[in-house]
Amino acid sequence: MHKRKRVNSGGVAESFAICLGISTLLIILFSVISAVIAYMLDDPTRLIGLFSLASMLLAGIIGGICCARIRGDGGVRFAALVALAIVLLMLLINVILSEGRVSGAAFMNYGCYMGIYSLSAFLGKKTDKHRKHK
C-alpha cells in the first residue's frame, strides 16, 4: 500500500480571501433577512439594534465555523485575523457613511462579532481522527 501525500489546499492569502468573502456574504445575507423581518413589523425602527446584533452574531457563528474548517491548522488565530479584517472594513464603511460619527452600539456589535467569530472558530475547528500507534 502506498501512502498518499497530502495536497496543499492553497496558500494563506487564498484562504484569507475565501474566508473574507464568505464572511462578507454572510453579513450581507443576514442583514437583508433581518431587514425584511423588520419591514414586516408595525414599527420597524424600534428593533433595529436588536436585529443588527442578531444578524452580526449569526453571521459570526457560521463564518467562524466555516473559516476554521477551511483553514484547519491555526484556525483560531486565522479566524481572529479574518474577523479583525471584517470589523475594520465595516468600521471604514461606517465612518464614511456617517461622516465620521460612529456610535457606541456599533463598537459593541463589532466586539461581539469578533468574540463570537473567534469562539465559534475554536469550537468548530477540525479534530484529528487518527490515533497514533506506538
pLDDT digits (tens, 9 = 90+) for 62-74: 998 888 888 777 6
Q: Are 48 and 105 in contact (CB under 8 A)?
A: no
With 0.75 as the threshold, say if the pTM is over it.
yes
Question: pLDDT for 57-101, tens place per residue?
Answer: 999 999 988 888 887 776 688 888 999 999 999 899 888 888 878
Q: Over range 26-47, report the average pLDDT.
A: 90
Q: How far apart are CA 29 and CA 60, in angstroms?
A: 12
Q: Are 12 and 72 in contact (CB under 8 A)?
A: no
Q: How far apart are CA 34 and CA 52, in angstroms?
A: 8
